[in-house]
Amino acid sequence: MLGYIIWEGFETLVLPRRIERPLRGTSVFYQSFWAMWCALARRVPLPGRDNFLSVFGPLSLLLLLTLWACGMILAFAGIMWSLRLPIHAPELSPSFGTYLYLSATTFITLGFGDVSPKTGLGRLFADMEAGVGFGFLAIVIGYLPVLYGAFSRREVLIALLDARASSPPSAGELLRRYAGCMACGDVTDLPEFLRDWEKWSAELLESHLSYPVLMFYRSQHDRQSWLSALVTVLDTCAFIISSLPQGPVWQARLTFAMARHAVVDLTLVFGSKPDAPGMDRLPPERLAELHKIIGDAGTAFNENDEAVVRLNELRALYEPYVDFLSKRLIQPLPDWLPNDDLADNWQTSAWDKSDHFFEMRPRRRQPINK
């Protein structure tokens, strides 16, 4: 038991790679605990359900660390009790509870001294447990800042996406705002934007594979999530590659490849093969609406059958995986089309939900009469 817990903690906290052992205790813990938490979340009214789900990530981490600590305390107590190691204790015949008390005070390096080992072997086990407890505490103290540092870096670009793709984000709104900029001659920001999201996707892949618990950490603002941001970028890149030849197609290909790599590998963490999505996120009639939105913004694009087929081929590369993650994490996928009835998060406040004073949607450029 002691060796298993130490190895499990090493794989989870120290070893930065995906573990594919079938009966890994951490995976079983998260699958069972998440299933129970989701069942409780369904009983929570919709306005507060997302807040309830956001508690799971930090709570599950603290509970897992507590279970490991309690398991190691129990294991050391069982070793000393099974060997009947002589100890100084108030009672003449120490019970298992007395050994458990000695193990707990030794593990947390408290050491009251009222119960202590008598023999050299007992002192050796006590020293070993104190060292394991001190090392476990040191790893936890070093682990939490790394975890929350990765979480903070993830949230920066998600917050920046608010003014570029609305809240919740959508590829249609992102393309509309950037299409207006391109019509005005400003084409430099979109490649840089996609380059930033390529790096963000690579960091997301590295951090969330090393620490899968981060997938359960939800964004700090309403109508935002790492999954919806990633899907919005994938949607945008797919449209640029298939239908926007004058756009930054090469950078869109690089960003699409990295983002798709991230969603595929993160799906593998759950150990299940994704099925085909049950609903088409972009049926023909909504694709026609998307074409109209981008056309009204003042940029040219391809809307022929070849472009539509290419777009559907690219969507098929990632939509089964993002649909799987959406169902497992209970995070809604973004719509392709913008919702003009909702203001961006930066345009609202806690006192006034419609506090926006100007529109971010660029107007179509008008010809200048000389």
Name 117's bridge partners. Answer: 87
**What fold, for 2-143?**
Helix Hairpins (1.10.287)
The predicted pLDDT at position 348 comes to 77
Given a contact cutoff of 8 angstroms between Cβ atoms, the answer to whether 220 and 280 are in contact is: no
Low-confidence ranges of the chain (pLDDT < 70): 17-23, 180-188, 349-370
The predicted pLDDT at position 132 comes to 92
The predicted pLDDT at position 232 comes to 95
The predicted pLDDT at position 325 comes to 95
In Å, how far are 83, 116, 317 from 111, measured between CA atoms? 21, 8, 58
Q: Which residues contact 13 (CB under 8 A, 6 or more apart)?
A: 139, 140, 143
Domain ranges across the chain: 2-143, 161-347
pTM: 0.85
> What are φ and ψ of residue 235, in 5° steps?
-60, -45
